Amino acid sequence: MNTAASPIRDPRDDAPVAATGGGLLSLRLPFDPLLLVATIGLLVCSLVVLDGATAEDIAGQPDYFVNRQAIFSAVGVVLMLVLSRVDISRFRELTWGLYAVLIGIILLNLALGSEVRGAQLAIRLPGGFNFQSSEFGKVLLILVLAGFVVGRSRRIADRDTTARVMLLALVPAFFVIAQPDLGSGMVYVVIALAVLFVAGTPWRHFAGLFALIAVAITVALVAAPAVGVEVLKPYQVDRLTSFLSPSDVAGDEGYQQEQSKIAIGAGQKTGRGDQATQTKLNFLPEHHTDFIFAVVGERYGFVGCALVLSLYALLIWRSLRILTMAKNLFGALVAGGVVAMLMFQVFVNVGMNLGIMPITGLTLPLLSYGPASVITTLLALGLLQSIYVQGRLAAAYKSRTIL
């Protein structure tokens, strides 16, 4: 008699998906309507804000940024709809293949990428499209870490599991920071922490990780420079510390945050519309990407900012709701990674515009201009919609079984 212990399974894994073949779910099932409303609402806001903010940025092409954002938004929505009909549990079988792709595209970006906005590397493709592997790597990392943790779900309380998850995230994060793209590297670490949290990692592990992070920050910003070793470039240090006293920073970093706060304050309740001089006269740098929230504040005032933040609140609330609906552990981990990615980027970018967070180069999801950022976010939302559909199927099957 075989007395070997059977592996422990998440009971939600036994819920059927749908007999549609190839991992495709029934097309008759609905999306999460509120998540879709928030997504489309933010994309529309992006086009409206870009239309007013970039009309004079390129001579003779007032609609340059708007048209490109519309095209890539449409492409991203189509990809989101397609991905929402795929059983994402199939990605569990591709964990190491996806990790190889993740490392490969990041190294390819380092080898072939050219400078974008004075810092980040990107591969220039025909049509003026910049392929930023660090953006697409976020979705790949979420799938990889979720698959890895599911494979070690019986040993989630082991320190070895926590260490391996962080190592899997830190390797690509290191290469991304070397591009240099400090903001995306931070997102990678946040995704790893979120996956561990959703998986049920003991709190003592998080205490150890946060202690290590605190030590690393201290070494990078204080100890190493004191002995003449530059872990980060001087402008990166200024970006991380300028928010503490922007008027004392001589470089662009302090200037950017000062202009951002001036723009938001000038908008008052209802905004200045076409009289938004901070944006119109280019006093506000990167007003179509990193500091687009300041454009919203200046042109549309408190009302516009409240609308945008309300749409983000709806987006994040529905994302958290979908996390609770996941039919299995893999889906819950993927949802947790996506929610952490969205929340962190929104919090840091808005805080950066308000002058209470460091400048990290993170875009505002779905609102900032950027093909890679928009498509990556929509792919992540496609994963959430797939989890929603699968959760609805599992719940429907359970209710029929009970009846």
Say if 328 falls within a structural domain. Answer: yes
10-residue mean pLDDT profile of the chain (403 residues): values are 42 43 48 93 95 80 89 94 90 94 90 65 68 89 96 90 95 88 91 95 92 85 71 66 59 72 87 78 81 92 95 96 92 96 95 85 91 94 94 74 56
Give the pLDDT score at 272: 84
Q: Count, in order, helices (H) and strands (E) of the chain.
A: 14, 3
Say if 221 falls within a structural domain. Answer: no
Give the pLDDT score at 53: 84
Say if 22 falls within a structural domain. Answer: no
| pTM, entire model | 0.86
Say if 120 falls within a structural domain. Answer: yes
Range of the domain at 304: 35-201+233-402
Give the pLDDT score at 343: 96
Give the pLDDT score at 34: 94
> Among candidates 123, 129, 127, which has minimal Cα distance to 109?
123
Give the pLDDT score at 149: 95
3-class DSSP assignment, residue 116: strand
Which region, left, alpha or beta, applies to residue 121 given φ > 0 means left and ψ of -120 to 50 means alpha?
beta
Say if 226 falls within a structural domain. Answer: no
- The number of folded domains in the chain is 1
The size of the chain, in residues, is 403
Say if 3 falls within a structural domain. Answer: no
Q: CA torsion sign, 125 to 85 to 80 to 350? A: negative
Which region, left, alpha or beta, applies to residue 148 given φ > 0 means left and ψ of -120 to 50 means alpha?
alpha
Say if 397 falls within a structural domain. Answer: yes
Give the pLDDT score at 26: 43
Say if 164 falls within a structural domain. Answer: yes
As a whole number of Å, the end-to-end CA separation of the chain is 38
Give the pLDDT score at 147: 95
